[in-house]
A = this chain, B = another copy of it.
Amino acid sequence: MSFQNPVFIPGPTNIPESVRKACDMPTLDHRSPAFARIFRPAVEGVRRVLKMDAGEVILLPSTGTGGWEAAITNTLSPGDTVLAARFGMFSHRWIELGHVHGLNVQIIETPWGQGAPLQAIEAALKADANKTGGGTIKAVLATHNETATGVKSDISGIRRAMDAAGHTAMLFVDGVSSIGSMAFQFTGWGVDIAVAGSQKGFMLPAGLAILGVSPKAIEAMETATLPRTFFDFKDMLTSYARGGFPYTPPVGLIAGLAHAIDLLEGEGLENVYARHHRLAEGVRCAIMAWGMTPYAATPDLYSDTITAVKVPAGCDGTALVQLAASKYGVAFGVGLGEVAGKVFRIGHLGMLTDVMVLSGLATAEMCMADLGWPVKLGSGVAAAQDYYRGTVPALALAAE
């Protein structure tokens, strides 16, 4: 376990030096005013990253899964109907979570590799709205970036579909693998709950679910009867108002979150998103040079944080991931569920440089050669080099 090579998993991401130091904090009395001085900037920073004009930020000592659960248990009651499209492992898991909590999940089955089907969503909402007695769908569950397939969905389009249907359901968005790395507009897109995790775009260790909650979702909390204690928004907001936390908070992670947002804003959020786009484009250049394609069906669906690479017929993506780990000490992601073996995944989110990405691509090529895949060594690297060297932003050139 040498920690020398970067990781290229779809999260957790490589933690920047200064973020590690910010998280590594001695014990602090979380009931003292010192805690509020750490907590408030973190909360305010999240608000800016999410682009929230109204509503509340909630930090749960948990992960994205806990964030999904909290979104549901704080706003819904057993038997409530929610609408969700299934097109990958993570959209699937959220649906399963709804089932476990007794929701009636109306599922729009969608091929993996596709994103959220806007027309089908609009149709389902219209049908619901036109029901005798009014609509029953309480919330739409949307996966902004499907980590399993490297597919980005159009959340703004879902909002437009909801508006077109004249439906008043809430919009819950899983932004775990997008927020902090890809543009997100909580207020602009009419999101009611956004769920992020500390270990992706925020470049922190796992341990925090980061939520934005709209006034409408907060109001829903008053009538929701699903049980919750650890994830209870009301306890959170009551404590936050006093500068506290309802139980012992992970102070180091919260301090790290504030610092990570300082890094993001120091680079400039738009620059961060542009950097992720560049990194992703370079990866895609390499993939094309290998004669392969992203699993995402069309370019508009390409994720800028994760690429699932469709492997040639007869090749096993999982074998590549295992070989990269065992022979070269480099971590990629395997295909999950119905794309197991058919893809391998390259995570290119968080604090990455062109140079780091090139080392990942070079490693993938060596594995391909080792496995007898029909790929020329250096071909993908060269394509990415060519793209990167031509697109380094003026900013980076000006700075030293």
User: At the interface with chain B, which of A46-54, A148-156, A321-329?
Assistant: A321-329
* Interface 9-residue window, one of A80-88, A131-139, A212-220, A227-235: A227-235
A35 to B353, CA, bound (A): 21
Complex interface: chain B residues within 8 A of A29 (CB): 7, 9, 325, 331
Quick check: is A241 within 8 A (CB to CB) of the other chain? no
Q: Does A197 contact B (CB under 8 A)?
A: yes
Is there contact, CB below 8 Å, between B355 and A362? Answer: yes
Q: Given A16-B4, A23-B24, A251-B206, do A334 and B31 touch, yes or no (CB 8 Å)?
A: yes
Q: Which of A58-66, A105-113, A165-173, A303-311 contacts B (4 or more CB under 8 A)?
A: A58-66
Bound form: Cα–Cα A354–B353 in Å: 18
Contact indicator per residue, chain A 95-118, by CB within 8 Å of chain B (1) or not (0) = 011001110000000000000000
In the bound complex, do residue B246 and residue A2 qualify as a contact, i.e. CB atoms below 8 Å apart? no
- Please measure, in the bound complex, the distance between the C-alpha atom of A24 and the C-alpha atom of B14, giving whole angstroms: 13
Write out, one digit per residue, whether chain A residues 195-212 have a CB within 8 A of any chain B CB (1) or not (0): 001010000011100000
Contact B334 A362 (CB under 8 A): no
Q: Across the interface, which residues of B come within 8 angstroms of A386, CB to CB?
A: 369, 377
Q: Measured between alpha carbons, how far is A297 from B58 in the docked complex, in Å? A: 40
Q: Which residues of B contact A363 (CB under 8 A)?
A: 355, 358
Q: Which residue of B lies closest to A21 (CB)?
A: B21
A298 CB-CB contact with B under 8 Å:
no
> Which A residues, 13 to 69, have Cβ-Cβ distances below 8 Å to chain B?
13-17, 20-21, 23-34, 37, 61-66, 68-69
Residue of B nearest to A366 (CB): B389
Instruction: Please list 30 pairs of residues, one from A and one from B, whose beta carbons are closer than 8 Å in the complex, sorted by A's number.
Output: A3-B26, A4-B6, A4-B351, A4-B352, A7-B27, A7-B28, A7-B29, A12-B248, A21-B21, A29-B331, A31-B334, A61-B63, A61-B206, A62-B66, A62-B230, A66-B230, A69-B230, A100-B232, A197-B248, A199-B248, A226-B227, A227-B227, A230-B231, A328-B354, A329-B396, A355-B363, A358-B363, A370-B389, A377-B385, A378-B385
